[in-house]
Structure 1
């Protein structure tokens, strides 16, 4: 018998949610979809303004936090006839990136980064920048989005950097009915586990103080994350145990979840 037999798994993802649900079914589990990511809102005018500012100034570092943000800036540059200049200037800058999706975009453009956080976290990038002994007054072009932009900008400015904040896109709030249903199902402990594929989903779930949700996770509902960044966001809320795969892949996450129940790991690790 497969490990997810008799288990009901909540899926907080929107993108690729059908694929995740299929994997759960293939392992004899039941899935319940609660898409709480929130949709992207592309800020085209802002992105175009940010591109023009970037083209006019030399930066000590260009910090790209998401693949979506990098692509949105590229599209904005193309829209005003400056794509080639935008890519060329990126090649002349020192690029720091957070994760693999941004690395993939850079590879498509034949661009190279100076440093990438090996664990995909902003904390690693900030620790790298903290070590720069000549950082005082050095300018940073920071591409971020509306859920973590202020904290990142403040952290860099406290280190001594002069920060230009580019927000080419933002997240709209999820459907409050769906968000409320997920919170209710967790607090009633009607779900055996909930899988999260981004820290944005975690931030949406805990957009208001949700102690009953935290308590339910710490009693019987297994919080499951696709990787370290998402897991860290859950742990920051006070969840004592978060399951995650060794490799940050959606398929690997479901395999780890199935193995967790099949091998009885919850007896030793979750309670």
Structure 2
């Protein structure tokens, strides 16, 4: 018997939600989508200015935190006939990166990072970043509207001047959908909820309630695609968060199936 047989699984993802539901259904479960990410908005004017400033200024480090972010900057460079200059300068820069999607983009463009967060977290990346060796050492930090001030403050605290690049943002998700998801969790009518980004978790807990946390700590299994998302769930007071060994959607669903199979035999 498959572990997800007759299990009702909430899917908080927007992108790839159909693929996740298909994987769940293949293992006997029923995936119910509650898009919790919010609409992605590309800041075209900001991206264009970010690229121009990057090309015209000197930076000791370039920190790239998301695949979406660096792709948006590269697209803006191309639209302004600066793609070759942009890639050439990246090739000459000290690059510190986080995230598999960011690494994918670098490989596509034959770029090699100097520092890589092995566990996908900004904390690990910052632990690798050397302290400034001169006054006015500067960092080009590609981030987005979430945690951007915190990241900037951390870098400034150790002595870096920070240029903050925000090529995209997310609009809030549908309030109706979020309220429906919260209600289903509190009623414990979902066996589990899978999250593929910390943004989805933050949107769910935008107004934290004890009922939500208690439902997860009772019968609703919290499932995260990777360490960053799992930490956000743990920060909300959730005691048990299931995550795969590899931060991939397929591995996440397999881990969930194995979790329930194990429960059937104990």
TM-score (norm. length: structure 2):
0.97
Deviations 1:22-52 (A, max 9, x none): 1111111111110111111000000000111
Provide the rounded CA distance (Å) in 2 between the counterparts of 1:65 and 1:201: 17
- Contact 1:135–1:161 under 8 Å retained in 2: no
Q: Say how many residue pairs are matched.
A: 266
Provide the rounded CA distance (Å) in 2 between the counterparts of 1:106 and 1:23: 29
- Contact 2:131–2:159 under 8 Å retained in 1: no
Deviations 1:127-173 (A, max 9, x none): 112x4252653100000001121111111111111000000000111
- 1:39 corresponds to which residue? 39
Provide the rounded CA distance (Å) in 2 between the counterparts of 1:74 and 1:222: 39
1:121 aligned to 2:92? no
- 2:142 corresponds to which residue? 143
- 1:8 corresponds to which residue? 8
- 1:54 corresponds to which residue? 54
Deviations 1:167-212 (A, max 9, x none): 0000111111101100111111111100001111111111222321
The aligned runs of 1:1-271 (5 Å cut-off) are: 1-129=1-129, 131-132=130-131, 134=133, 137-264=136-263
Question: SS where residue 136 of structure 2 aligns?
Answer: coil
Provide the rounded CA distance (Å) in 2 between the counterparts of 1:60 and 1:168: 20
Cα shift at 1:237: 1.0
- Contact 1:40–1:170 under 8 Å retained in 2: yes
Provide the rounded CA distance (Å) in 2 between the counterparts of 1:226 and 1:180: 23
- Contact 2:132–2:159 under 8 Å retained in 1: no
Structure 1 residues 266 and 111: alpha-carbon distance in aligned structure 2, compared to 1, 3 A threshold: farther
- Contact 1:135–1:159 under 8 Å retained in 2: no
TM-score (norm. length: structure 1):
0.95
- Contact 1:260–1:266 under 8 Å retained in 2: no
Cα shift at 1:56: 0.8
Unaligned runs of 5+ in 1: none
Structure 1 residues 266 and 162: alpha-carbon distance in aligned structure 2, compared to 1, 3 A threshold: farther
Q: Which runs of 4+ in 1 moved over 4 A?
A: none
- Contact 1:64–1:95 under 8 Å retained in 2: yes
Deviations 1:65-117 (A, max 9, x none): 00100010011111111111111111111000001111110111111100110
